[in-house]
Amino acid sequence: MDTVLAYLVGGAVMVLVAIAGVTFWRASQTAWVEEVPGIENTRLRWTRNIASLIAGIWTLGGLFQVGKFLWMPMLDLVLPVRPFWPQVPEGVNVEGPTAQIVSGRIREVSVDVEGLTFGVRALLAGEALLQCAIVVVIAVAVVRICSALLTERTFEERSARWIRATAWVILGAGLGMQVLGEAGRVGASAEALRMNQVGWSGDLPYDDPSEIPGIFAESADFTINYWPVGVCLALLALGTVFRYGARLRNANRSLRRDVDGLV
């Protein structure tokens, strides 16, 4: 899910950059034109409407996900486990493979689990909520910028503030959701897989519980990806461009008034 969200956020950032590029191109081509050309007007309206729809869908979807993690009895999760690799029992002959696996590790398992405590569920729900917040804030930023383009208020301070706010939301929510999600899955792994005592008869050829097929040990494997930092920096740079663009636009308006006064 984190990988999918990273691609989604990256695509949204590319949309924001593309909008900025179109803005600069149009400013250079139609510096003295007050109205947006018809075809651009249509494209901007479609982009704004689609972004609004995405924001609404993700808001409802996020609320559903939060409710699912908090109250659904059984959850489908990917839990970290102590690394292991299944061994073929002695006396079993396997034919067919043309290559041989020298070593390997299974570090996580996909399971349906029930009976989790509310604390673990709250962590997983927090991850879902922050995921939703990232997409909704990006969609709202796209809506605001498209609206500014349609009303000839492209380089206004409010657009720059929205872009900067989006950058900080992605940074905080992007890192926060990973911390909450990883903590929730580690907690779920402990609750579902922690073994207080394991025993077996003496005729089984096992020296350690981890060697017994079907028994998984809990793991505290914790991984954080830092893609939100890069996205945040890119959006902060874009916000700076819009802020300076607002200043140039104000200077251009002042110059136009002076020129009109001379004419």
Q: Classify residue 124 by burial, with Cβ atoms within 10 Å: 0-12, 13-18, 19+.
A: buried
Q: What is the model's pTM? A: 0.73
Tens digit of each residue's pLDDT (9 = 90 or more) over 207-229: 666 666 556 677 777 788 888 99
Q: Which residue has the higher pLDDT, 198 or 237?
A: 237
In angstroms, the CA 63 to CA 158 distance is 28
Q: What are phi and psi of 216, to 5 degrees?
A: -110, 145
Residue with tokens 């929205």: 162
Residue 29: the pLDDT is: 43
Residue 100: the pLDDT is: 79
CA torsion 8-9-10-15 (nearest 10°) is: 90
Contact in structure between 173 and 43 (CB atoms under 8 Å) = no
Q: Classify residue 90 by burial, with Cβ atoms within 10 Å: 0-12, 13-18, 19+.
A: exposed
Q: Classify residue 33 by burial, with Cβ atoms within 10 Å: 0-12, 13-18, 19+.
A: exposed
In angstroms, the CA 163 to CA 242 distance is 9
Q: Which of 142, 153, 173, 150 is nearest to 238 (CA)?
A: 142
The residues, any chain, with a CB within 8 Å of residue 256's CB and separated by 6 or more, are: 32
Q: What are phi and psi of 96, to 5 degrees?
A: 130, -55
Q: Which of 211, 213, 212, 217 is nearest to 196 (CA)?
A: 217
Tens digit of each residue's pLDDT (9 = 90 or more) over 108-126: 888 899 999 999 999 999 9
H or E element: which one contains 24? helix 2-29
Tens digit of each residue's pLDDT (9 = 90 or more) over 35-51: 445 666 777 788 888 88
Contact in structure between 58 and 5 (CB atoms under 8 Å) = no
Residue 107 binned pLDDT confidence (cut-offs 50, 70, 90): confident
Q: Classify residue 84 by burial, with Cβ atoms within 10 Å: 0-12, 13-18, 19+.
A: middle
Q: 3-state SS string over 31-55?
A: CCCCCCCHHHHHHHHHHHHHHHHHH
